[in-house]
Chains A and B, each alone.
Chain A
């Protein structure tokens, strides 16, 4: 084998053009795979930087009205006490805080943890300690753990940071630990963690679901199903014990890994499938090149066979070349893969826990080597098997011009048709994603995102606990922002549409008998200012918008959306109707003053519920988002907004400054990433398939030169010869097209979950990509076909 490798290396070096093209082709295929595999590997092998992540489950609640509901704190306490399945069952919720730093005030993302979260996650701090049960209760000294990044940024990575104080949203916390650099929550990248128990008193109402979720670590030997049954039994008990709050509520259990990567799973698998398709096409092209090379070496093989080389030895000789090409392609492919990985990272929102974790580690390296060398060698078998089958007499007597030509051409045709089939699948999937993105952007979200700048503003902490004080500050802020040049209207809201957040509240239309716990209706409950609907271009259907007259001491009013009106006031004029909210025994009455259009507030194609808006002055939220419609490029107003808000209140930071277009873009991140990757891979596949067809047809034209000469002697015109060759190319493309169409139908099921507004069997996309493929087939065949018309019949007939 050593001698074979040496000879193969020498032979490859002697043909640098062939070697470079083959190695680069493989590098593109292997690189695309390595790049996407780095994400797949992260998902499959190390989805979260937590020990024994397969034993972690994510727990929430659900009801008929709110399918994905957060956990009531008292329920959590009962679960924790009664459960038999977990070594630890913790609770957490995300929360951001205003941090007064030495230079300026900033917003830091954080999380409130029950003390049991730490043993459940099983990650030790880099410095210091976790907070324990004594820290996790009302009235305990305020303790906090900080992230490694925050420790470096705000404390210069001092080891003495333990015991230092930190002011978050007006409260002083003592730092007790620093978490390791790679620790991040499954749901995001917090910078501070504090005990949830400190805030428990505000969350002791069992009917209140304050954004809390649980994570449990399964006991050894306890299965996921058993744990789920355990929690469901407890939930049933609680339903009986606390019917007023728990009737109709159930527990939702999910593996943590599924929760975190669930949405990305399809995207990553589809992208990986596309990358693998590119690799197969690349390998088919290289196999084609090797076949041509083997055909040209028939005489050499015949001589080798004549002097005693067995077929196995000849096969080894060709395989040695494939192996070396595979190694070179893999080495280059790893570089391409690194570039691909970095490129994909730029497409993912920076706060995603995926981005920093993905790397070209040993697993990716091993995968690239295995796939690169393995698949290349496998494809190398085709030329090895056909090239080694030598008819000694024919090959030696015919001067090496014959010998397996037909077999060779047949294999090459099979390979190139296969390339076209795979390319069709990639193009089709890419076409479906293109239509999906087009539909998503074209769909009516119920508001207009153009020329809108948004930013977050938090009024949390003791200083802002007075609702009236919050309302006054927000009034001043609105007035100040309205005066900024380039701003045509300003409003505030909570939550910001399409930003992922939502508040749900149960209610009853006035006059309707209380159906009992768990059977009341649920609505999205938003706060809004006077100009919100006009700023966001949400149409007024009936009644009126808010005015400046709706104050805290005035009767409560609300604006509802069309879906609310149609669901709860069908056939009636909703204006003047009242909805009852809050404690059923002593509800607050809210009078409907207007009906506005429905907004897709979780993004296009996502679940959506009835919506209700309250004037912010009547219920001033502690957290709001401002929205500014501008007459100029909205992103250009970032600095003037920061300056204006600093003038109003220097201790409160402006954060998450984004255009609404960016907010919307984030809701379609998965589809955008897939479209980008699929388009690149499909383009690459198309290029490789075109090169493949060109190569095969050139080879066939070379083989049929004599036949062309005969045909010309018999009266064939240049046009008929061109047509003959074009037909041959188109036949290969058409076979690929036929096989590809069947494959597309198979793949359709896999892509259905990521599509919007387009059928996975969309005939328009299928037709369009088929036309593209035929056009490429025609284009690739044209040059060799034209070359065939230049055959000199006298010369061709002399070739004996």
Chain B
């Protein structure tokens, strides 16, 4: 636990309302949250509780209807679309349940993709991609296409892609949801080792078994934070 660390993500009274066919759906209702640098936080809750919406807002893929979101000391409301894209690219790394690798690109190109958006020179990109792939144990598969890999391998590539840009935070959305238990455990172990190396991780999961890997679990229900739980064995 690193309570002395500065706040990386701070949500104050964040709400999200969807309007469909004149029906208001309150996906999030007054969420307050504070995540510090180096923390490993899981957001848990049943399907439809709003945890994925919360993760989208955290990842700047969506905007809150109300409330304040401060990322790395900077309020993100009112940012232009290019500014949001820039922050996503430099400060956030995504890990999705369904991997979301681009099928037409090789493993190497997938990992390289966020770096190309950053306008990074090719030589530096090469170093970073190689490092990231080595870190997840996929260096030998750089020239393969995603379709030539198993689910676990694809997720490891997705993790490498998230890591390559050295983001301030890794956002993982049900990272084991599409994996069997063996591969799921391996990915969780990978996230754990990244955390140990200093990464800040926010993971959404509905599986309490995996939620326990985090230092702190925030339980969400009906769009509200209903409980926060600090894991006893969080030291790992």
Which residue numbers of A lie inside 8 Å of B, CB to CB? 706-707, 709-720, 793-794, 797, 800
Contacts and interface: CB of A to CB of B under 8 A. Distances in A.
Contact of B96 (A711, A712, A718, A797): A797
B81 A713 contact: no
Interface of B: 56, 59, 61-62, 81-82, 85-86, 88-90, 94, 96, 98, 100-103, 113-114, 117-118, 161, 165
Contact of B100 (A710, A715, A718, A720): A710
Nearest to B55: A794
B59 A713 contact: yes
Contacts of A794: 56, 61-62
Contact of A717 (B101, B117, B161, B165): B117
The 4 closest A-B pairs by CB, nearest first: A715-B89, A714-B114, A715-B117, A717-B85
B113 A714 contact: yes
29 contacts: A707-B103, A710-B100, A710-B101, A710-B102, A711-B102, A711-B113, A712-B61, A713-B61, A713-B88, A713-B94, A713-B100, A714-B89, A714-B113, A714-B117, A715-B85, A715-B88, A715-B114, A715-B118, A715-B165, A716-B89, A717-B82, A717-B85, A717-B86, A717-B117, A718-B82, A720-B117, A794-B61, A797-B96, A800-B98
A50 B86 CA distance: 80
A719 B155 CA distance: 28
Nearest to B86: A715
Contacts of B94: 713-714
Nearest to B83: A717
B59 A714 contact: no
A711 B86 CA distance: 12
B228 to A, nearest CB: 25
B90 A715 contact: yes
Given A718-B82, A793-B61, 8 more contacts: A711-B102, A712-B85, A713-B61, A713-B100, A714-B117, A714-B161, A717-B86, A797-B100
Contacts of A706: 100
A797 B62 CA distance: 12
A707 B117 CA distance: 15
Contacts of A707: 102-103
B47 to A, nearest CB: 13
Nearest to A718: B81
Nearest to A711: B113
Contacts of A712: 61, 85, 88
A717 B114 CA distance: 11
B61 A717 contact: no
Contacts of A800: 98
Contacts of A718: 81-82, 85
A716 B61 contact: no
A711 B81 CA distance: 14
Contacts of A709: 100
A713 B59 CA distance: 8
Nearest to A707: B102
Nearest to B171: A713
A709 B82 CA distance: 15
A367 to B, nearest CB: 44
A689 B62 CA distance: 38
A279 B113 CA distance: 42
B174 to A, nearest CB: 11
A78 to B, nearest CB: 81
A716 B81 contact: no
A713 B98 CA distance: 14
B88 A714 contact: yes
Contacts of B118: 715
A718 B85 CA distance: 9
A719 B119 CA distance: 14
B117 A716 contact: yes
A716 B165 CA distance: 13
Contacts of B90: 715
Contacts of B102: 707, 710-711
A748 B165 CA distance: 54
Nearest to B162: A714
B231 to A, nearest CB: 28
Contacts of A793: 61
